[in-house]
Structure 1
Amino acid sequence: MVLASMPSSKAVLMFADIFFGRETDNMLSQAKLHQLESAPSNVKSNWLTTVQTRPIRSGSVSSDDEPAESIIHHHDTESIVAPARSSVFEYGTGTTTVLSHRDFSSATTRHVSQAMSIISKRDFSFSSSSYASELYDTQAIWKHGADYEGFSFELDSHMQRAIDRYARVCGKSLDFARSVTSKEFLAMVTNERLRYMPEKGSRLDKTLKKAEAFAKKFDKIMTAIKMIEVSTYDSSALVLSSCKTLLGFAGKYSFAVERFFTVLDDAMATVVKMVEKLEASHASHRVTSIFQSSLAMIVDIVVDITASFGTHRSSGSEKTIVAQFESRFEIIILRLTQLKAEFHMCHLNHWLECHGSVDSLLIILRGFGDFGLDSCPPAYISILMKVCLSLHKSHSEHSETLTWFRFLWNSIEKHRHNHEIINSEQWFEVYQEYLIILGVHEQHTERLHLAESFRAVILADFGATHAYYIRASIEFAKILEIDTVRYVEAVSIYEELCQFDIHCCDEGDSIIALLEIAKYRLSVLFESHCDLGHRAETLLIDSFVSLKWELSYSHEKVLVALTRIVDYHRKQKRRESISVAIKVIEEYIVGLLVEERNEIVLFDIARSLSKMYRELSSVEFGIKFIQTLKEEVLMGEKSKVEGFCGFGHEDRLAHLDRRCFIFIHAFEQLLCGYERENMLDIIIRDVYTETCLYEAWSVSARTSSRPIHMRLAAGARLIAFLELKGRQTEVRKLRTDMWEMFKGFCSTSVSSESLWQLFELTLSNVNKKIVHIDILERLVEVSLQVYKAKDFKVSLQLLKWSQVYFRQLTKTKHSHVVKLAFKISESFSRRHTHDHDHVILELQQISSEILVEVLKVGRLDIDFGTIPFDQLNVIIRLLGERKNFSMLERILQYLWDTRMSRNWSGAATVATGRRLCEVKFAAGHQSAAMSLIESICYNLRDVYGSLHHLTVDCETLRASFHNTCGNHKAARDIHVHLLEQIGNMDNDAISGRDDLAELVTDQAKRLKWAHHSHQSKAGEDDKDESFYLSILRNAQSSVGGHHRVESASFGDALKLDGEKMETKWKHPENWSLPVREVL
């Protein structure tokens, strides 16, 4: 309902009774109000002041005598009484703000005073609501800490409280259509315009235009808010319904309504600027809080002003109403401006979280326009700092960068004492970047003033001994350097810093680094001014010398100091200065090689020093120096390099090892222009290879017990490496040392020419995969000459050496190698020595091994009869060990086939035949082996009888062959036959055989094993147990009757269930023929 429809007197009485109340005792004068200007800004009060006084009469824009009907009536037929909210949240909502006179102009203060003088504390007191304090507190944004996430806010509770206030003020519930939309509101405005057709520029025309503009902005705001899914509840309908009601008062309060929509449109414009930048990806708790807070303030002002119009009855109080909402709008617009700034910061924070490009950041900043605050709130300084530092990296030349850096610096200056927001290191970082930005934009005066004032602040806060003060002093001096007048002040500052006592502070390392910077800047300053140039060299040398004593030669600071010295002398462009720089570098190189061992560091420094020589245009001097130094290191001579900075080099090179060659090789190659990819890896590999080769040669030269060919090979490999690197001086010296060693090894009876040829062939063939046959021929020749001279140990070493080449050349030069193998085999087997002469035996052993290896490769028609039996027996043994049964069968078959032409004993013939049978059996020729052994056994039985030891051995071998082939029955029959023969022996034959008991035991065990194996395999036996028991008893009786046998094992062996012996054939441990006679 609209109060204008009520009788005037009734409206006045109702307004006086409800709005003002009866508490008029306590008055607040205008002077008393101005005393509140000194109140602190954090004092909270309701926009409807807690002070009550009489209203101030003023000229009315419209009179109470006007007709009660408004030119625009708002009859909302769809309005329903808002039901009371049943959901009350733990934290209530309200509309508390700060009315500090520091925030307003004098004119605004007057309107605020008028508003405050008529508003009752009894009707509008929400100061106890915590969220209201946050919502309208214009200082709240400055109190939030760095971890601020937005205060907890419930829009629906806030709306309910506004509706409750309306009911309390007006004495009735607020009726509003919950379905009203911006489109309906605009339709109502359009209808009113078409209905009344206001003149252009009239108050009604302005009112309708402002209402229309408000509706459009409000619709845009609500649409954008819904995009990020912020709950608006019924706030849109509440605001629009209230605005429709306010338009209904345009007839009675035309000025106030027109003014209200004007300032409301201004407030909406601030929110619209926010929603224009809003995107769906911006949704967060803080952004939600920002837009709900904005909407809450619009709800408050619209509902409360609607209540004010609805209860007003004094014709002279329209200006008071205007002052009332204008004062409130100043607070609201200020808060909206702050919320807009917060939203901008949230936008920037979103850019940081998404790792956006700097170009997109620049577009975002340009779209912000006026930030609205003189400094950044504390909670957002960290975001602003990251944004500014991002701009500095690639967009320092843009004006936006300078603007935002200024804004950041002002913000830090205001809040820097709050260490939770920014620490000293961050503060200093921003300061340095700000200086750079000012320099880019040529703001030299501002830059100099900033550096000077910052240094003064640092001195006051931290003192003159703190690292921050030294850093600030250096930054200030750097700016003074470019000043044509004040550069002398920079000299004074640097000199003061150079005299700084580092023992009076705790940050020793950082202070030293800063002081080195100061010394360098001072030297550069000296160089750039002719009147100070003579002081630069002394300063640089002193710094270099002191750093070398305090730090290592390879330390980065030492290398930097050396670089500064070289740069200084290079700029002088005088021959004397270049010479001084070169001597300093040479002295540094010697000291570096003595001290440093890390290969990566040495390589990096070599690169840096080679660059210095190039800058000095003295590459040839560097190459000559490093080559001289290399020879001195290799030859162990004393260095002739004289120190320039007070260091001597006597005996210093004696401490070097081969790791220094990483630097030497790298430095020399870099100076010669041989830089390539993976250069360090290649140099390390070469140095490592050279070191290993030198070490191997050194050990070989000292160790005479090593084989001569290994000692020569070590030297030959080193010579090959040195020749590849073009180091001929070292090659000549090494060849001489090797020749003297080789001559001392061999006997003097050897021909010098043969020895020299062998030496040269060794050096030329050491790295070849396949050596030339000449070296083997020469080696055999020298070996035989030494053997003839009876220097057997030397001959043995040479023979072992030749064995290496025999293995290599057997496949490629087989016929030639076979002749050489037979030659040495024949030569070494001629000498008959005693058994204790182990050297001769080893010579024969090795010659036999060589011959065997050679024979394994080819299949030649060789007359084995020409080989001495002892040598041939060694060959047989070696072939057996290597399981070369094919070659072994050939040799034994040859011996067996030629037995008729030789004067062999029977034992030798049988031994050869037995070994041939075993070789055939091992080679897989079982039938041939069985046939041959049966033939041998037959002839032995015929000649010597069944129980001769040669016959028994061959029969036992034949039985083992049968067992191995699985023919256990045949093996059983052999053992049965032998035991039967023992049982049938006559007394005379038995008395002459002491070995019968052992023979019976052995054959009995073998019989039982064969019998058991046959039963296990066949399942049945054609002989029963009584048969075997009878045989065993007969044998036992035959032996026991003539020989006393008390052994328990003998009795056990003759029991059928007694001990057994496996009789399968096994490879002999020694394949040589078991005969000692010379055939």
Structure 2
Amino acid sequence: MYAEEYKSTVSSHGYASRTSIKHLSELVTFYSKQNTVEMQTKAVETLNTSVTKIVRTEKESTRLFESATTIAKLYLQINQTETAYGLLQEMRRQVVTEDYKSYSKHGISIEGADRRSFVFIVAFEQTLKGSASESSFSEIMASLMTETLLYQSYTQSIRKKSGFEVTLSHGCRLLIFLQRQRRTEEYQRVDKELFEIFAQALHSQTSSKTLRELFNICIHEMGSNNDDAAVIENAAHAVRIHADASRFDSALALASFLSRFIRLHGGFASQQTVDAGFRICLYLTGRGCKRCTDQKLHQQMLELSTTILTDVLDAALHMKVKFIQMPIKELNELVGLLGEQRNYSALEMILTDLWSSRHSQTSWSSTTIVWIGRRLVEVRFASGRHDAALHLCEDICYNLKRVWGAFDNTTLKMLRLLAELYTAAGAYKKAMAIHEDLLRQTLVAVDEDGVLAPEGGAKIASTHMDLLKRAYLRNGGWGKDSGAYRELYAQLKDAYAAEQAWAANPTAAQGIEKWSLKDKKDGLGIWQQPASFEFASTRDNKHENNLRRTSGLCWAEGSGGRNGSGSPAGKKIKERERHNGVDGGVGQVAVKWGGEIIE
């Protein structure tokens, strides 16, 4: 009787009419009360059929809402909650994907349903969740519509062959949405499809765990934050973690996949990605993380590092990236890496950027600043730009003497570098002049000014006597009246003969009269390329202002380097300072260094 009444009402008024829904309730309740498997099955089949017909044919929103609410309650009433949720997920999947084939045990198809059916699906879900749910009708509706739009964007990008970058972006956003909505089946299906696209684009297999790791990073960052740069940053971090855990094969594989991904995804397109790219290169070479001890694998990591670094540098040059924005520790490592690769053009680009920015870097120590300048000098010289290197080194030496005096340890090192560069460039007379001037100044510093103790003066004089002899041999003689040198030696011997540093040095002790142009030459005093171009020092040098309190603080006139401020060369320098702000020099930061510029 209930079945006939229901059939008649549906035929006359449709499945979603209030009368039909009333008779449906009576029929389902009757089936349920029979308490047999057959009757329970009939109850579920009747409800499923009613849902399918209403969703496919009903267009009026009030009837859709009311019928969905009642039918959902009937599922709950007959203890078919799991069936109801399964039916709900199947309906959502079909309206979202527009794929009306049934992949579940329910075997329903709602082909023909349009967006108006969303009212039924949302009301059905809200009723099933009941008071335990915090989601309102409008929130559930918004969720369904969002999922539909996300899925359509994703599938359209595939159909239209919009490209890997677009498809991945849409797919990741869809996956994160499904994950948050706990739509496990849909998530797994989209994940599988998108991962296959990902693997094909990166020329790999879906069985690769490392590829899966990168894919998961993409899902999280591109899906949650729409942040492509964060993908590269997090992947770089993962490379370091693998290396520190001695999983060097995984580190190499991940970096390789990431390199392909970056090229497909627009390259290094921001300061953030460039910085991350540099870190990847460092990690592959064992800088900032554990170094690979397997020579074959390490060589592969070095080669990949070089390849990635080329891409990063090209992008940095194109975007005019400010390297100064990178942490100084990473910059130091990067400079070291570029030095190992003999990439002088990139080295000069980075060091020039740092050197040009030194005035604004209040956190940098004076030692760091000088070492940056020194490395820039050496890079220019190594690349064959001898004039530019010597010009910069002269400026730095001149200003260091003004700030800390000639006998500060840093000044002495830079003066020795300048002499070595002169020697390497074949300017032996200029190298001789530097050593001669320093020897003369030690006498003044010990006897007249008290700047140096006899022991300290002897150590410096002993060193530069060795260097003066090498310059003499390379030059083929003194190049001027030897009497001046004999007189200088006599003064030095008189001042330092009792000092251990002088007496223990055969070159100093034997006297210049015994020097012979036939003496064997060696490599002392000529510039050699440093083993590393890193500039950061593990300790900061302490400087003492040992300037003379008179005006004679610079080299004597006629020397190969800078001259006193009253000499023609000195006037030329001061004129250039006024116009160029000490081109490449360090005098402008004297106050910051704790020194004092004395005119």
Band the TM-score falls in, shorter-chain normalisation:
0.3 to 0.5
TM-score where L is the length of structure 1: 0.26
Larger radius of gyration: 1
Which one scores higher on RCO, CA 8 angstroms, separation ≥ 6?
2
TM-score normalised over the length of structure 2 = 0.44
